[in-house]
Chains A and B, each alone.
Chain A
Amino acid sequence: MKIERDAVLELLFEAVRELNGLRDGSQQLPRVASAALASELDSLGFVNLVAVVEEMCESRFSKTVVLNDVALAPHQRDPFETIGSLADYVVLALGDQAAAWR
């Protein structure tokens, strides 16, 4: 079953809402695809995001994805750069094509 990017984006927006519950009112992450992630998250914020997204993928799509040990070649884009880039990566990972990430 192919999982659409919109469905993954929706999941990520929910994850960001969860994450915002842990953030100060002035540091809320916007829930739009272009919102920066990597530059906004500290190490625990990153861990919280990974845990929430993996858990949601498991319960919503019955599929395990592992996001905390994404191995990147030097020229590759960081999947956590924005919500949109993370959605693209998760769509690939859910389709067992994480290796195709560029």
Chain B
Amino acid sequence: MNLPGTLPAVTQRLVEPTAPLAQGLLVADFNTANLGAYLQNDATEPQVVCQSAPYGQVTQSLLGADDALWSPGLAFTVVWTQPEAVLPGFARALAGHEVAVADIYQDVDDFCQQLLSARERTRFLFVPTWTLPAAHLGHGLLDLTPGFGVARHLLEANLRLLAQLDGHANVFALNASRWVEAAGDKAFNAKLWYLGKVPFGNDVFKAAARDLKAAMRGVLGRARKLLVLDLDHTLWDGVVGDDGWRHLVLGGHHADGEALVDFQAAIKSLTRRGVILAIASKNEEAVALEAIRSHPGMVLKLDDFAAWRINWQDKAQSVVDIAQELNIGLDATVFIDDNPAERARVRDAVPAVLVPEWPVDKKLYPQALRALDCFDLPRISQEDQQRQRMYATERTRNEAKAQLGSVDDWLQGLGLVVKADRLGAHNLARCTQLLNKTNQMNLSTRRLSEDELRLWADTEQRVVFTFSVSDRFGDAGLTGVLGLCLSESCVQVLDFVLSCRVMGRKVEESMLHVAVDWARAAHAKEFKLVYLPTEKNVPCLQFLQRAGLRSQASDVFHWDLARPYPLPAPVQLLHAAG
């Protein structure tokens, strides 16, 4: 895609169409109208509409006494309580009584039982941790003593809450202390409480709404995954082409230099959460790469970057080129640059890319980065932790590809191993993540939560296969999902999902081979795939059209089950035990 000076039509298509409003329910022992208003007025995706359960009726609401609250299709529920309202032992401790920790634990367990009984009625359940107004924590040394310590009971209760919620796929605890700390002395508002039964100042609700929206984007697979960085005055201070790398400000006994080292360390920590790094810089490539390799203050090494465009072309074009090279959507891309003109250019030309405003003062860079919530994930899989390495490996792989003649020769030399496995507790989280994040090689773009996927697969007539891919360069991990359904002698492929990282390496054909094998073993008479078009899954249609399948309509593809679907020659297919 080429970007002219004016806003091109093609980039406008990258902006998400208006999505339906996600329905939310707010359950609390206090008035949640302000939280609901901030959630509804927040312009970021997903757009939501909230209903508040009657306040002070947490137990009744959670136990489903009012069916009207729990409408089918409820996207999310937030259960936010004050500890003294739902933990009788804690209320006694606040009144000055000695309370055993066992009593606190029992109260938390009882409350969690109510919470978990509601998790089947909502797609995602968010539970902010308990907090207390600072005025309650004023008993000096007593605060942290066993039995009487209110602060200690609060810590015990929160830890017990987290332990009880762990392992429930659609239940997520949120750290409310962060919202309270961010609001400072405006966190609690006695006037709002006594006049409106609103315990928190609105700065707390604003922070909560921001975190809840980020959490929703995370669980819906909309977290950003590519960070494109400028170099001069961004990763280091100075202009490497003018000053030379030895004179760049980075590290050492210099306030800005130290801050930039911290900034780079914070960027590096993002790679451990699955964020991919790239560079878009106006420089001479050889000069800039030498600086990255040679400067002792560089925390980020060349291997930390999956791609770069270091040249004199338009930065917006560079960002688009990088996203295309890495097969990552522009709506999953973030661009950081110290230069307001470059930020404005990328923002205008490629509106799908998130371009945060950036502080002038280098000392504020680390905290500006940490404040970004666009990378927030609900969980971190092994694949997330290794993604940066995988992309670096991919670069090596592509370099090898460039040296070889044909694609078949290249594939032959890769030593490709595809391992098929069944859906189970060990791969459910990653499988769900892939299902929800993959856009391009995705037959039906079915989005399911962990529970929904597990329940769907939990019948004899359905199966979910997962595919892990490795080659002589490295292990790409679990990158493919296949969902099959047998009905009246017909096997239909519902989910055909493959990460863009391994597309075009005959993994697609290997998945079809496994699907057809399963259909033949089930003595099915018919095998079909129905393609559901989206703005992004054209690569899937293109694969189906060249895969040797029979198509009667443009979107329905068949395979004759009299014969197996051939396994591509370069692929070694393994089946997991069991």
* A residues apposed to B, CB below 8 Å: 18, 21-25, 43-44, 47-48, 50-52, 54-55, 68
Q: How far is the CB of B506 from chain A (nearest CB, A)?
A: 51
Q: A22-B202, A51-B191 are in contact. List 10 more A-B contacts (CB 8 A).
A: A21-B37, A22-B34, A22-B37, A22-B41, A44-B34, A48-B34, A48-B196, A51-B195, A54-B191, A68-B191
* B residues apposed to A, CB below 8 Å: 31, 33-34, 37-38, 40-41, 186, 189, 191-192, 195-196, 198, 201-202, 206
Q: Verify B202–A48 contact, CB threshold 8 A.
A: yes
Q: Which residues of B contact A44 (CB under 8 A)?
A: 31, 33-34, 196, 198
Q: How far is the CB of B98 from chain A (nearest CB, A)?
A: 36
Q: Which residues of A contact B198 (CB under 8 A)?
A: 44, 47
Q: Verify B192–A51 contact, CB threshold 8 A.
A: yes
Instruction: Identify the closest chain B residue to A19 (Cβ).
Output: B202
Q: How far is the CB of B38 from chain A (nearest CB, A)?
A: 7
How many angstroms between the C-alpha atoms of A51 and B193 in the bound complex? 10
How many angstroms between the C-alpha atoms of A57 and B466 in the bound complex? 61
Q: Which residues of B contact A47 (CB under 8 A)?
A: 191-192, 195-196, 198
Q: Which residues of B contact A52 (CB under 8 A)?
A: 202
Q: How far is the CB of A8 from chain B (nearest CB, A)?
A: 19
Q: Which residues of B contact A24 (CB under 8 A)?
A: 40-41
Q: Verify A23–B37 contact, CB threshold 8 A.
A: yes
Q: Which residues of A contact B195 (CB under 8 A)?
A: 47, 50-51, 68
Q: How far is the CB of B558 from chain A (nearest CB, A)?
A: 50
How many angstroms between the C-alpha atoms of A25 and B34 in the bound complex? 15
Q: How far is the CB of A64 from chain B (nearest CB, A)?
A: 11
Q: Verify B192–A48 contact, CB threshold 8 A.
A: yes
How many angstroms between the C-alpha atoms of A44 and B193 in the bound complex? 11
How many angstroms between the C-alpha atoms of A77 and B192 in the bound complex? 25
How many angstroms between the C-alpha atoms of A60 and B33 in the bound complex? 28
Q: Which residues of A contact B189 (CB under 8 A)?
A: 51, 55
Q: Secondary structure of the A side of the interface?
A: helix
Q: How far is the CB of A87 from chain B (nearest CB, A)?
A: 20
| 13 A-B pairs (CB sep. < 8 Å) | A21-B38, A21-B202, A21-B206, A22-B34, A22-B41, A24-B40, A43-B196, A44-B31, A44-B34, A47-B192, A47-B196, A50-B195, A51-B189
Q: Verify B41–A25 contact, CB threshold 8 A.
A: yes
Q: How far is the CB of A21 from chain B (nearest CB, A)?
A: 6
Q: Which residues of A contact B191 (CB under 8 A)?
A: 47, 50-51, 54, 68
How many angstroms between the C-alpha atoms of A18 and B186 in the bound complex? 14
Do A55 and B186 contact each other (CB < 8 Å), given the known contacts A47-B192, A47-B198, A50-B191? yes
Instruction: Identify the closest chain A residue to B34 (Cβ).
Output: A22
How many angstroms between the C-alpha atoms of A51 and B191 in the bound complex? 6
Q: Which 9 A-B pairs have the closest CB atoms?
A: A47-B196, A22-B37, A47-B195, A51-B191, A51-B192, A44-B196, A44-B33, A51-B189, A22-B34
Q: Which residues of A contact B192 (CB under 8 A)?
A: 47-48, 51
Do A21 and B41 contact each other (CB < 8 Å), given the known contacts A44-B31, A44-B34? yes
How many angstroms between the C-alpha atoms of A52 and B195 in the bound complex? 13
Q: How far is the CB of A99 from chain B (nearest CB, A)?
A: 22
Q: Verify A18–B196 contact, CB threshold 8 A.
A: no
Q: Which residues of A contact B33 (CB under 8 A)?
A: 44
Q: How far is the CB of A11 from chain B (nearest CB, A)?
A: 16
Q: Which residues of B contact A50 (CB under 8 A)?
A: 191, 195
Q: Which residues of A contact B38 (CB under 8 A)?
A: 21-22
How many angstroms between the C-alpha atoms of A55 and B190 in the bound complex? 11
How many angstroms between the C-alpha atoms of A29 and B564 in the bound complex? 68
How many angstroms between the C-alpha atoms of A96 and B385 in the bound complex? 63
Q: How far is the CB of B265 from chain A (nearest CB, A)?
A: 35
Q: Which residues of A contact B34 (CB under 8 A)?
A: 22, 44, 48
How many angstroms between the C-alpha atoms of A25 and B47 in the bound complex? 14
Q: Which residues of B contact A68 (CB under 8 A)?
A: 191, 195
How many angstroms between the C-alpha atoms of A54 and B34 in the bound complex? 18
Q: Which residues of B contact A21 (CB under 8 A)?
A: 37-38, 41, 202, 206
Q: How far is the CB of B443 from chain A (nearest CB, A)?
A: 38
Instruction: Identify the closest chain B residue to A20 (Cβ).
Output: B41
Q: How far is the CB of B75 from chain A (nearest CB, A)?
A: 20
Instruction: Identify the closest chain B residue to A42 (Cβ).
Output: B33
How many angstroms between the C-alpha atoms of A21 and B33 in the bound complex? 12
How many angstroms between the C-alpha atoms of A54 and B186 in the bound complex? 12
Q: How far is the CB of A70 from chain B (nearest CB, A)?
A: 13
How many angstroms between the C-alpha atoms of A92 and B229 in the bound complex? 55
Q: How far is the CB of B491 from chain A (nearest CB, A)?
A: 49
Q: How far is the CB of A28 from chain B (nearest CB, A)?
A: 10
How many angstroms between the C-alpha atoms of A21 and B202 in the bound complex? 10
Q: How far is the CB of B200 from chain A (nearest CB, A)?
A: 11
Q: Which residues of B contact A18 (CB under 8 A)?
A: 202
Q: How far is the CB of A23 from chain B (nearest CB, A)?
A: 7
How many angstroms between the C-alpha atoms of A23 and B38 in the bound complex? 8
The winner among B31, B38, B195 for most chain A CB atoms within 10 A is B195
Instruction: Identify the closest chain A residue to B206 (Cβ).
Output: A21
Q: How far is the CB of B405 from chain A (nearest CB, A)?
A: 60
How many angstroms between the C-alpha atoms of A42 and B189 in the bound complex? 19
